[in-house]
Amino acid sequence: MVKVIDPEASRQDQMKKAVEAVNTKRMSIRKAAASFGVDKSSLHRRTTRQVPLNARPGPNPILTEGE
């Protein structure tokens, strides 16, 4: 059996782990970005709180999930 992994969920998990590593002073932004495989500038924006941690790219959806 093949395990299907949601790539969006795993990217968000990696970003959360990277932000946690930077905020606890275990790693620099550059080192955390390389270690967790996330974009350095995205990690910087999230650690300086310019962008919320759970932000997604693009405009907000017009229709809701129920529609």
* pLDDT reported for residue 47: 92
13 falls within a domain = no
- The answer to whether 42 and 15 have CB atoms below 8 angstroms apart is yes
pLDDT, tens digit, 9 for 90 and up, residues 7-61: 666 888 899 999 999 999 999 999 999 999 999 999 999 999 888 877 777 888 8
56 falls within a domain = no
Contacts of 22 (CB under 8 A, 6+ apart): 28, 29, 32, 43, 47
Enclosing domain of residue 27: 20-51
Please give the tally of structural domains in the chain.
1
35 falls within a domain = yes
* pLDDT reported for residue 65: 74
26 falls within a domain = yes
pTM over 0.85: no
5 — pLDDT class (breaks 50, 70, 90): low
42 falls within a domain = yes
pLDDT at 67 over 80: no
2 falls within a domain = no
* pLDDT reported for residue 8: 65
6 falls within a domain = no
